[in-house]
């Protein structure tokens, strides 16, 4: 089965998913999007209001900032893959629960297996927590480790994990945009 077929099958599974209660309140699940041969996988937390409406990741204000950040290092959305820890929006954009994360992350794990990125960029605390636990990295506050590169040895070779602030931080704290730009420069050194 080709990567495209595998991802298509996975997306169909996500559309039918009822592993947690979020399927009852979602408008559209958000599987993810981008290049199936992406070197960089961005992992966000969960779909927000606009993502839930459109069924696509990072299409609201934070998405516009992400697009600018990608452009600042010469990347376009079509060259990376963008996914979330959760595939369905938690009501009111509340934080994901442990049970929801446990139910949903097999999909993210499958996406990583199919896409085989060499760089995984976490966007925010929940993706940092999941990815750091998955790759047995010692967690720390994002304020201490953002923009740093962590090398992990896997059966598929060396992966670089880069924790980043969620782009939404710049919507309520415009001064953080410069920090994000600097962190993306560090990220760009990985590919």
Whole-angstrom Cα distance, residue 142 to residue 4? 34
pTM: 0.97
Per-residue pLDDT tens listing for the chain (191 residues): 899 999 999 999 999 999 999 999 999 999 999 999 999 999 999 999 999 999 999 999 999 999 999 999 999 999 999 999 999 999 999 999 999 999 999 999 999 999 999 999 999 999 999 999 999 999 999 999 999 999 999 888 899 999 999 999 999 999 999 999 999 999 999 98
Contact 58, 48 (CB under 8 A): no
Do residues 48 and 60 touch, judged by C-beta distance below 8 A?
yes
How many C-beta atoms surround the C-beta of residue 26 within 10 A? Answer: 18
Domain coverage including residue 16: 3-188
Question: What token pair was written down for 162?
Answer: 């880069």
Alpha-helix runs per DSSP H in 17-162: 49-54, 61-72, 98-115, 125-134, 142-145
Domain count for the chain: 1
Q: How far apart are CA 53 and CA 165, in angstroms?
A: 24
Query: The domain that contains 102 carries what CATH number?
Result: 3.40.470.10
């Amino acid at each position: 089965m080709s990567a495209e077929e595998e991802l298509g099958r996975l997306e169909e599974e996500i559309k039918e998913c009822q592993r947690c209660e979020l399927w009852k309140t979602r408008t559209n699940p958000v599987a993810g999007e981008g290049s199936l041969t992406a070197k960089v996988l961005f992992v966000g937390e969960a779909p927000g209001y606009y993502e839930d409406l459109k069924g696509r990741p990072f299409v609201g204000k934070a998405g516009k900032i992400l697009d600018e950040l990608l452009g600042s290092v010469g990347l376009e959305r079509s060259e990376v893959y963008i996914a979330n820890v959760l595939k369905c929006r938690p009501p009111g954009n509340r934080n994901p629960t442990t049970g929801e994360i446990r139910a949903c992350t097999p999909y993210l794990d499958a996406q990583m297996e199919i896409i085989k990125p060499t760089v995984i960029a976490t966007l925010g605390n929940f993706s940092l927590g999941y990815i750091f636990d998955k790759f047995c990295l010692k967690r720390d506050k994002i304020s201490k480790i953002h923009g740093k590169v962590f090398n992990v040895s896997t059966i598929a070779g060396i992966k670089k994990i880069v924790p980043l602030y969620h782009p939404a931080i710049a919507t309520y704290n415009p001064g953080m945009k410069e920090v994000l730009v600097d962190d993306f420069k560090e990220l760009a050194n990985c590919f």
